[in-house]
Amino acid sequence: MRSTNTFSILFWADQKNATDGEALVYARITVNQKRANISLKRRVPVKLWDPKKNRSKGNSAQARQLNQYIDQTYTKLFQIYQDLKFQEKLITAKLIKAHYTGENEQSKSLQNLIAYHSKKIENTLAKGTIRNFGVTENYLNRFLNKVKKTTDIYLKELDYKFLCDFENYLANYWPAGHPKALSQNTIMKHIQRLRKIVTLAYHMEWIPRDPFVRWKPVYEKKQREFLSENELSNMENFQFSIERLDRVRDLFVFSCYTGISYVDIMNLTEDNLVLGMDGGNWIYTKRQKTKSSVKVPLLGKAEEIISKYEGHPMTEVTGTLLPVITNEKLNVYLKEVAHYVGITKNLTFHMARHTFATTITLSNGVPIETVSKLLGHSKIATTQIYARVLEHKVSNDMDILKNKLLKNKNERIKKAD
């Protein structure tokens, strides 16, 4: 790379393409013999242009205004050159032009960033995640229209106040058809998605500073529902007279004993059923959400459910291990299942993963590291959201500790005798 540059600015009138005796005035930037032309969007009578002085002739108000604008343009172009030189950046005529016309990365807008981010994630993230980003973008557009009275802003205008205003807007927004306003945690999720989009701009140097640097998310602690051992047993043993509810119950219980999510269960085929190193059947699959590998040894109840649907007309048609049903219908039918079984909790399919983490594994002494692996999590912190230590588990652990301390005490007494 060259350490020194030749640089010049020339103003000229395009007399060849003059109309009605007037020509457009251009600034020509030359850096290391490479040129770039910038239209000043000003016209001058051909007969009044002085090609030697690169100025308009005469002392009329029109001539003085044009010459003053030329001087201002020269100063601005020269300052851009000096700034790039001071920053020790590559200097080209096109780059100086881009800075002058506002086409450089510093002039990117929020809509430019959203479009770039949407293109970036379209083939890398799960459909549900992409849909969630779309919802956040819709809220951003409503916020710009209602609060900022515009459709777009420059990225350099993003600051801490913008984030606070957006958070306040969401806190006071009541979505049409919703029974209540957005919850605090939903608001935080939308701002978290905006943060990911803006962080992308910061890493690409579209903005010089991160407006989120002082912003801290505030989440409300929520108790994640799960089925107790008694509730799960009641569900397993209930005899449904309606076949569709029987199938829904089986899918839910299968997830309770494997921890596999709805979308991943729907994609299971015989190819996912593998003989493990312990000689038992395992499920080998990949989470659609994170693409992480999941290997789960099948417990007895899960194997019973797979056997139940082997050769079933519904699985024969789809080629899957278990019957296929949409997530929307599945969650609607689970409300009926809960009613028949006598479960008063708001039963959703995702509750099965919480039940697996809490009731099936952790409460039975399975280490959280193992549970994290079974659930396909990359961080223990994610598993801790699902998992809670039950009171009877605490009681059992303390009983073990009491017995151990008593044993140690008795051994010390014997030694003393």
The per-residue pLDDT for 217 is 85
Give the residue-averaged pLDDT of 177-191.
85
DSSP, residue by residue, 260-299: --HHHHHT--GGGEEE-TTSSEEEEEE-TTT--EEEEEPP
pLDDT band at 405 (very low <50, low <70, confident <90, very high): confident
DSSP, residue by residue, 135-173: HHHHHHHHHHHHTSSSS--BGGG--HHHHHHHHHHHHT-
Query: Which residues belong to CATH 1.10.150 in the chain?
Result: 107-203
Q: Which residue has the higher pLDDT, 379 or 332?
A: 332
Tell whether the model's pLDDT for residue 191 goes beyond 90.
yes
Q: Tokens 């912003």, residue?
A: 215
pLDDT digit string, tens, across residues 213-257? 888 888 877 777 889 999 999 999 999 999 999 999 999 999 999
- CA–CA gap between residue 175 and residue 53 (Å, rounded): 64
pLDDT band at 73 (very low <50, low <70, confident <90, very high): very high
Tell whether the model's pLDDT for residue 382 goes beyond 80.
no
The per-residue pLDDT for 190 is 94
- CA–CA gap between residue 202 and residue 215 (Å, rounded): 15
Measured between alpha carbons, how far apart are the two ends of the chain, in Å? 87
SS3 248: helix
Looking at residue 79, its amino acid is Q
The per-residue pLDDT for 417 is 66
Q: Tokens 């030189």, residue?
A: 85
What is the chain's percent helix, strand, coil content, to nearest 5?
55, 10, 35
CA atoms within 13 A of residue 401's CA, in its CB half-sphere:
6
The per-residue pLDDT for 86 is 86
pLDDT digit string, tens, across residues 281-296? 999 998 887 778 888 9
- CA–CA gap between residue 24 and residue 17 (Å, rounded): 8
State which fold the 229-386 domain adopts.
hpI Integrase; Chain A (1.10.443)
The per-residue pLDDT for 337 is 95
Q: What whole-number percentage of the chain has pLDDT above 70?
A: 94
- CA–CA gap between residue 348 and residue 252 (Å, rounded): 9
Domain 107-203, CATH: 1.10.150
Structure tokens at 270: 């015989």
- CA–CA gap between residue 133 and residue 127 (Å, rounded): 10
The per-residue pLDDT for 146 is 92
Residues 6+ apart with CB under 8 A from 55: 11, 66, 67, 70
Quick check: 357 and 383 in contact, CB under 8 A?
yes
Quick check: 268 and 321 in contact, CB under 8 A?
yes
Average pLDDT, the chain: 88
DSSP state of 366: -
Query: Which residues belong to CATH 1.10.443.10 in the chain?
Result: 229-386
Quick check: 236 and 343 in contact, CB under 8 A?
no
Quick check: 38 and 95 in contact, CB under 8 A?
no
Radius of gyration for the alpha carbons in the chain, expressed in angstroms and rounded:
34
- Distance between alpha carbon 162 and the CA centroid of its chain, in Å? 19
